Amino acid sequence: RPPNAFFLFRNALNSHLAARNLKVPQISMAAGELWSAASEDIKSQYTKLQEIAKVLHLEMHPGYVYRP
C-alpha cells in the first residue's frame, strides 16, 4: 500500500530524530503535533511526494488493490 503524506512526513522525522534515541511513541506524538502545525506549503510538498510514491507503487505492483 503506498504511503500517505503524513506517513512520509513521519518517516522523514523518524530518520532525523533517530540519533536522539527517542522511543516510537515519542516520535509519533511529535510527528502528529508538527504535522498539525505545519504550513500548507510543507503539507503540499509531502502530498506531491505521496503522488510520486503512488506512481512508483503502481509500477512495482501492477493490479494492486487494497483489501483491509
Residue in the block written with cell 516520535: 27
* pLDDT attached to residue 40: 97
Predicted confidence band of residue 2 (pLDDT cuts 50, 70, 90): very high
Rounded CA separation 39/43 (Å) = 6
For the cut 90, the answer to whether the pLDDT of residue 36 exceeds it is yes
For the cut 90, the answer to whether the pLDDT of residue 24 exceeds it is no
Q: How many CA atoms lie within 13 A of 49 on its CB side?
A: 16
pTM: 0.85
Rounded CA separation 1/7 (Å) = 12
* pLDDT attached to residue 23: 87
Predicted confidence band of residue 50 (pLDDT cuts 50, 70, 90): very high
- Please, which residues have CB within 8 angstroms of residue 24's CB and are 6 or more apart in sequence? none
